[in-house]
Structure 1
Amino acid sequence: MDTNAVRMAFEASRKVNGGMVLFAAPGIYLTGAFNISSNTVVFVDKNAIIQGSSNGYGTIDGNGMPWWKCAHDIKKPPCNDHSRPHLVMLVEGENIEISNIEMKNSPSWTLHLAKCSHVHVHNVTFHNPSDAPNADGIDVDCSQDVVVEDCTLDVGDDALCVKSGKDWFGRTFGSASKNIVFQNNMIYHGHGITIGSEMSAGIRNVTFINITMDGTSNGVRLKSQRGRGGVVRDVVYKNITMKNIGTSIDITLNYHHGMKPTNATATPKFERITLEQVSSNHSNVGFLIDGIPESPIKELRLINVDVDAEKILETCEYVEGSCANCSYCPKCIK
């Protein structure tokens, strides 16, 4: 167990206002949680592994299997009435670079960027079993000015995801996610390239471009529900190539069906969503587009969208938009 040594190294870096903490190879560093302070470079050598202990919280190799067993009953160990940890969570950070590393076996979300700015994530591999509960790849949450590129993701839930807080707390906190680019990424298992469902502080100016997906349960995905509030606006999916997908295009404000309408501040909105040069081959379902009566999806634009599916349309209601040069245009937006 290396927890004390690892924490002492990072504390030494903090005391001199930054430095490099090296995990040298070969070696497996078994550790609980540790904090990284400002101006610190964490260098994990090739053939070195930071492995989370089930007696602590997850790190680079989160040793997630024990945690997945208590996903639906947090009274079981090792949860012991606590929620599962994220693998790497950075809070209120600025000028962050994460590159050339593998992150795997996360107890829950793998990389969580919470209220961060000026972040560059590149050449990172994310791997969680496809059935690992809530094992997202990257969650950009209440953050801005973020670029994620040249990454490979094979995970158990949303692969690339933008969030901005949940319900009343998210709206009160009021930190929108904005100015975010995901480009040149490869995705295998997972639940798609996603906005939401937690988006209560608002999300705007997000671009997914040059992304390939193979065997993903969802492709292009935006999701929210009554009670969230917040506005998602100016989102672009461009040059997206998919094959062997569950649902190719899934856009819903009715994520949990059957919820009753609520007040105006808790009614979510999707506006100005563009899909351009999007193709999907051999999917189960082509389109699921599902607004709500009090908040139709507005200005949904499909441009050069080509979808091949066993069932081309699942749901299409409460949406306003247009199609141009598409192999199929859902009837509700013609």
Structure 2
Amino acid sequence: MGGQVMVVVVVAAAVVMVLMSGGECRKGSGRVSFEYSAISCRAHSASITDFGGVGDGKTLNTKAFQEAVQQLSRFASDGGAQLFVPAGKWLTAAFNLTSHFTLYLHKDAVLLASQDIKSWAVVDPLPSYGHGRDAAGGRYISLIFGTNLTDVVITGENGTIDGQGGVWWQQFHKKKLKYTRPYLIEIMHSDNVQISNLTLLNSPSWNIHPVYSSNVIIQGITILAPVTSPNTDGINPDSCTNTRIEDNYIVSGDDCIAVKSGWDEYGIKYGMPTKHLIIRRLTCISPYSAAIALGSEMSGGIQDVRAQDITAVHTESAVRIKTAVGRGGYVKDIYVKGMNLHTMKWVFWMTGNYGSHADDHYDPNALPEINGINYRDVVAENVSIAARLEGITGDPFTGICIANVTIGMAKKAKKYPWSCLEVEGVSSGVVPPPCGLLADQGEEKLGMCDFPTENLAVDGIQLQKCSYRMKYNV
């Protein structure tokens, strides 16, 4: 299964590159030409070199990227524009994107994030968080950032964005950061967003963070970070509607995909859920975290998540729900189908005592609702504990459904593979047998724990075949 997903990722990331008239390395004039798939094609094209960009790995290109986006934004109402980043190492600090715009990275292009912390602007905390994740104040702006955008594409021929996060991780561990670390890509308050066919390395913190956005497609992404790196979540859809995450390969120091919607009283007040989310064909390695996490910041609500064809290897847990008293909100109508799992501590993990509050002003009466959690068609091997399901006293997690699950326990597995407290649900065809709080239904009923039959709107978004053609002189 893992090999098949890797093949899909590679195929999804591949485009055709043709260098006409002798190629880029020869003197004279010629044309760069290639094709790719995107939600929208562009009428105008430019290269970062047209704006003074130098891909030597040493020259800081922040102004070149900022000027390129500013100049190309003039074409937003005239068919849009695409910015090509050719082969080379392009050192840059943060820059913003614009609407009706495509950023395209050549297969040998590497965006290198500046390691000069002073060169990173500071922005306010997210309103649904009210607080930085690393520190109480603001947060460093993300490397590639955009807000209030329509129709934006970040893609390539599997080009690379390297966050060079080591310096940030050191400062974090030493508790010397005044603000929250930057992400590699963050798109806010936007509609029609595509992030695809890229390799992301060593993010200072989270890798991809769409927030307060809709109609988002994230596909063909490879994310790599040391498994001990702090908070290097892979993809974090946050207060987003209609999101499709597919064909991704993630190795990280935190959750491979973390679904969020705001933190405590701030998330409750903002009231913007994540809903209608598809996750399919994910391969994850994360020894200290989950393949898919729901929360812990879920105070705006999480509803209608459909995850399918998940491979996790050396991952602490497959699916984890994280919440606590004070979170409020809800996690409901969650459907997970088809997991292939190898070596992990827990397969299923639900936690109602996950602390880490934004501040001391959270409402102790704000209890989360966890209901309608469905898992089926799971095969796991070398597992220490089948499940740890812990609701909240007086606020049990309900509507749990688990069917057709076979868990191979490790040689040194716990004597009691299931731990259940304050949960209610049903089960069928589960090995080893679950706790009594998940009542055995005997023979599996048709459609038990399965996906809803209707499709989500985001699945109807089709990609177009786009092209880039540009003359050059060398």
Q: Answer yes or no: is 1:85 the counterpart of 2:182.
A: yes
Provide the rounded CA distance (Å) in 2 between the counterparts of 1:214 and 1:288.
19
Provide the rounded CA distance (Å) in 2 between the counterparts of 1:8 and 1:100.
25
Aligned to 1:71: 172
Within a 5 Å distance, the mapping from 1:28-177 to structure 2 comes to 28-55=89-116, 56-57=119-120, 58=143, 60-75=161-176, 79=177, 81-177=178-274
Q: Which amino acid aligns with 2:297?
A: E
Q: Answer yes or no: is 1:273 the counterpart of 2:373.
A: yes
Give 1:189 deviation, angstroms.
2.2
Give 1:262 deviation, angstroms.
5.6
Provide the rounded CA distance (Å) in 1 between the counterparts of 2:331 and 2:354.
15
Q: Which has the higher contact order (CA 8 A, sep 6+)?
A: 2
Give 1:82 deviation, angstroms.
1.5
Provide the rounded CA distance (Å) in 2 between the counterparts of 1:251 and 1:308.
20
Provide the rounded CA distance (Å) in 2 between the counterparts of 1:149 and 1:136.
16
Helix, strand or coil for the counterpart of 2:67? helix
Give 1:71 deviation, angstroms.
1.9
Partner residue of 1:13 out of 66, 69, 72: 72
Give 1:211 deviation, angstroms.
0.8
Q: Which amino acid aligns with 1:142?
A: S
Partner residue of 1:250 out of 339, 349, 360: 349
Provide the rounded CA distance (Å) in 2 between the counterparts of 1:50 and 1:239.
36
Q: Deviations over 1:229-274 (max 9, x none)?
A: 00111001110110111221111112239x9x9644x111110000
Give 1:72 deviation, angstroms.
3.8
Contact 2:229/2:253, CA 8 A, preserved across alignment: yes
Q: Deviations over 1:135-190 (max 9, x none)?
A: 00000000010001111111110101110000111011111100000001111225
Give 1:16 deviation, angstroms.
2.9
Within a 5 Å distance, the mapping from 1:217-232 to structure 2 comes to 217-232=316-331
Provide the rounded CA distance (Å) in 1 between the counterparts of 2:174 and 2:283.
33
Partner residue of 1:22 out of 84, 91, 101: 84
TM-score by length of 2: 0.66
Q: Which amino acid aligns with 2:309?
A: N
Q: Deviations over 1:288-329 (max 9, x none)?
A: 100011210001001112222312536310001011111121
Q: Which runs of 5+ in 2 are unaligned?
A: 1-59, 121-142, 145-160, 440-474
Aligned to 1:214: 313
Q: After alignment, is 12-21 or 122-131 more displaced?
A: 12-21
Contact 1:237/1:278, CA 8 A, preserved across alignment: no
Q: Which runs of 5+ in 1 are unaligned?
A: none
Helix, strand or coil for the counterpart of 1:331? coil
Aligned to 2:385: 285
TM-score by length of 1: 0.93
Q: After alignment, is 42-51 or 186-195 more displaced?
A: 186-195
Q: After alignment, is 195-204 or 245-254 more displaced?
A: 245-254
Aligned to 1:333: 438
Aligned identity (percent) is 30
Contact 1:247/1:286, CA 8 A, preserved across alignment: yes
Q: Which amino acid aligns with 1:179?
A: H
Aligned to 2:303: 204
Provide the rounded CA distance (Å) in 1 between the counterparts of 2:273 and 2:282.
24
Provide the rounded CA distance (Å) in 1 between the counterparts of 2:205 and 2:242.
24
Contact 1:287/1:330, CA 8 A, preserved across alignment: no
Larger Rg: 2
Provide the rounded CA distance (Å) in 2 between the counterparts of 1:177 and 1:239.
22
Aligned to 2:417: 313
Q: Answer yes or no: is 1:188 the counterpart of 2:285.
A: yes
Aligned pair count? Answer: 326
Q: Deviations over 1:94-129 (max 9, x none)?
A: 111111111111000000010111011111111111
Contact 1:74/1:82, CA 8 A, preserved across alignment: no
Provide the rounded CA distance (Å) in 1 between the counterparts of 2:229 and 2:418.
27
RMSD between aligned residues: 1.7
Provide the rounded CA distance (Å) in 2 between the counterparts of 1:254 and 1:292.
7
Helix, strand or coil for the counterpart of 2:236? strand
Contact 1:110/1:138, CA 8 A, preserved across alignment: yes
Q: Which amino acid aligns with 1:227?
A: G
